[in-house]
Amino acid sequence: MSQAKPYRGRSVVVAFVLVLGFGAVLSRLIDLQILQAAKLGEKAEQQHHKAAVVEGRRGGIYDRQGRILAMNMEVPSVYGVPTSVEHPGRVARDLTRVLPVRADEIERKLRQKRNFVWIARKLDPERGRRVESLSLRGIGTVIEGRRFYPKRPLLSHVLGFTGLDGHGLEGIERRYESTLRGHSRRVILQRDALGRTVFPKGLSELGPHSGNDISLTIDEVIQYVAEKELLDAVNTSGAKGGVVIVMEPTSGEVLAMAVNPRFDPNAVRSLSADSWRNRAVTDAYEPGSTLKIVIAAAALEEKLMTPSSMVFAENGRMLVANTVIHDHEKSGWLTFADVIRRSSNIGAVKIATRLGEERVHRYLRAFGFGERTEIDLPGETAGLVKSPEAWGERTLASIAIGQGIGVTAVQLATAVSAVANGGWLMKPYLVSAIRDQQGRLIAQVSPQVRRRPITAETARVLSKILESVVREGTGRRAAVPSYRVAGKTGTAQKYDLEANAYSSTRFVASFVGYVPARDPRLTIVVVIDEPQGEAWGGVVAAPVFRRVAEQVLPYLGISTHAPVELALVTTG
């Protein structure tokens, strides 16, 4: 009996210790499961789920036939979860062997007190696979959209490009950023028990956050022809560059806009802004004799001249404001039609003098010079047309021969289209339709009339004169077999700012015209910047017009006498 008491004492002690132990465990369970449940649940959520912001899919850009010009490619991006990386320096060294990022930059990001950081975005798929094969704790990949231009330099100045964040920086990409851009989405990255990140399934699938698709008025085939012929002309003449615009004169739709030199929008990081500037809308130049079209239109509209009116050309030399104006041919009396056909500077100056400063200025503005065309591209300039109050003694004469005024190629295209279509100045445009990702039409663009600078009768008479320019005048090399062509050549000296005078060696050669002359379907502007050797517009630029037209006309199925209806929508 005496020995049983010590055993009972020990049992009591053990029981007491067990009760205390169970009490402590129970207390801890109550604390964890009830009192701290919300806080610990949030902490667990943070350990297994990380938030990231990813852009929605950007809309595509298509030509008028539905051919893809800009699209998104699904490519990997690499991210890090700094709070899960145990050895930032070691991880950074491992990653830099795979990624085009310096080790110190990666390490700096991984040492931040953040739950998520981008390490390298929009990589080649092979780099993404190599990162995944490293199986680094706290490092993962996610699929994002990278902008891709499958035609490479084709239409590069019109399309523009996007930045690393997917936002449009130039061209259509910039002008229609809000339309193309997909909305940002906050997504949750899930991590398994081993710390590996599992990206949610279906994130890259199309959804309501995607941007809209855009259809252009551009035709890829016509664009290719324009760029090829421009490139050949620039190379052959040793020019600095050039522009070719192909426009539908009755609507203002731009079928092609070629700018040389070109660039690849898939690789712009090493290029300067000068490389991707769209000179067709941003650069003003002195148009030379192509501007005589406007002077002639004004004289006909004001009934100061008829095709047979006589003008004395002073035998090729005339003094104006203590300066001498020359003609390339010595002529006496010329008809008004001959002044345009032979591109007589003296004849044009005399016609402009009869019109007077106020009327010349009014018609320049009526044809759209000195103001933006409002084409749907960023960076358009208004050119330069001074008010008559700022003109000097020589200004009127200079403008008559296309000097002392700055125009853009797109301004010239729309101005001459107004002659081609019977007197209507149209608003040029590049985007014809906008659709959502399911193909539903959101917006349709219609032709818009800006104003009417001349009557149909003036346009008809002037067209006949411009036909004779190509048939027997300075524009003979623009003639297209079996088609009637109307147009005008231009050769302008460039102004040398250092010498404060016009250069005797640097020129802009140009040709602008439309075809078929009686039922115009195409307006084509060709501008060649600083050609070497023979720099006449009729020699350098007119053949480009011909080569473009003789390929595009049959491609569009345009016969020599096909009638065309003028369908216009006026702006209220």
Query: pLDDT higher for 189 or 27?
Result: 27
Task: Assess whether pLDDT exceeds 50 at residue 201.
Answer: no
Backbone angles phi, psi at 3, to 5 degrees: -80, -20
* CATH number of the domain to which 120 belongs: 3.90.1310.10
Query: Is 289 a catalytic site residue?
Result: yes
Which residues are CB-contacts of 551 (< 8 A; sequence separation ≥ 6)? 225
Q: Does residue 460 belong to any structural domain of this protein?
A: yes
Token code pair at residue 147: 């902008």
Same domain, 240 and 385: yes
Q: What are the structure tokens assigned to 455, written together?
A: 């009557």
Claim to verify: residue 79 and residue 161 sit in the same structural domain: yes
Give the model's pLDDT for residue 122: 86
- Over 70: is that where the pLDDT of 305 sits? yes
Does residue 16 surpass a pLDDT of 80?
A: no
pLDDT at 204: 42
Q: Which among 247, 339, 248 has a CA at the least distance from the CA of 293?
A: 339
User: Considering the chain, what percentage of its residues have pLDDT values greater than 90?
Assistant: 71
The answer to whether residue 510 is domain-embedded is yes
Confidence of residue 124 (pLDDT cuts 50, 70, 90): confident
How many distinct structural domains can be found in the chain? 2
Alpha helices in 115-170 (DSSP H): 125-134, 156-159
Is the same domain home to 157 and 247? no
Taking only the tens place, the pLDDT of each residue in 204-213 is 444 447 899 9
Residue 73: its pLDDT value, please? 85
Same domain, 413 and 489: yes
Asked whether the predicted pLDDT for residue 54 surpasses 90, the reply is no
Q: CA-CA distance, 189 to 78, in Å (whole number)?
A: 13
Q: Are residues 227 and 319 in the same domain?
A: yes
Q: The domain spanning residue 373 has which CATH number? A: 3.40.710.10
**Range with the lowest mean pLDDT among 30-34, 359-363, 514-518?**
30-34
The more confidently predicted of residues 116 and 41 is 116
173: left (phi over 0), alpha (psi -120 to 50) or beta: alpha
Q: Which of 29-33, 38-42, 275-279, 549-553 has the highest mean pLDDT?
A: 549-553
Residue 571 lies in a domain: no
Give the pLDDT band (50/70/90) at residue 569: very low
Domain check: are 146 and 286 in the same one?
Answer: no
| Residue 365 pLDDT greater than 60, yes or no | yes
Mean pLDDT, residues 297-302: 98
Q: Which residue has the tokens 């009760």?
A: 19
> Which residue range(s) make up the domain with 535?
220-263+278-435+442-555
Assess whether 243 and 211 both reside in one domain: no
Query: Residue 203: pLDDT above 80?
Result: no
- The pLDDT of residue 9 is 65
What's residue 207's pLDDT? Answer: 44
Closest CA to 537 of 503, 510, 506, 507: 510
Q: Let me know: does 253 contact 447? Beta carbons within 8 Å.
A: yes
Same-domain status, 324 and 428: yes
Q: Note the pTM of the prediction, 2 decimals.
A: 0.83
The answer to whether position 209 is within a domain reads yes
The b/e string for 213-231 (b: 16+ C-beta within 10 A; e otherwise) is: bbbbbbbbbbbbbbbbbbb
Q: Residue 28 above 70 pLDDT?
A: no
Cis, bond preceding 516 (omega within 30 deg of 0): yes
Q: Does any domain span residue 388? A: yes
Residue 207 domain flag:
yes
pLDDT higher than 90, residue 472: yes
* Residue 308 in domain: yes
Residues 73-77 have a mean pLDDT of 87
Element (H, E) at 24: helix 4-30
CA–CA separation, 207 and 461 (whole Å): 57
Q: Are residues 190 and 320 in the same domain?
A: no
Task: Report the chain's mean pLDDT, rounded to a whole number.
Answer: 88
The catalytic position among 156, 251, 289, 432 is: 289
542/536 Cα distance (integer angstroms): 9
Residue 500: pLDDT band by 50, 70, 90 thresholds? confident
| Per-residue pLDDT reduced to its tens digit, 324-348 | 999 988 999 999 999 999 999 999 9
348 assigned to some structural domain: yes
Region 275-282: what's the mean pLDDT? Answer: 95
Assign 183 a pLDDT band (cuts: 50, 70, 90). confident
Mean pLDDT of all residues in 255-259: 98
Same domain, 235 and 200: no
Q: What is the pLDDT of residue 205?
A: 40
Select the more confidently predicted residue: 500 or 555: 555
Considering the domain architecture, whether residues 455 and 362 belong to the same structural domain is answered as yes
Average pLDDT over every residue of 403-414:
97
* 172 shares a domain with 236: no
Q: Indicate the pLDDT class of residue 524, thresholds 50, 70 and 90.
A: very high
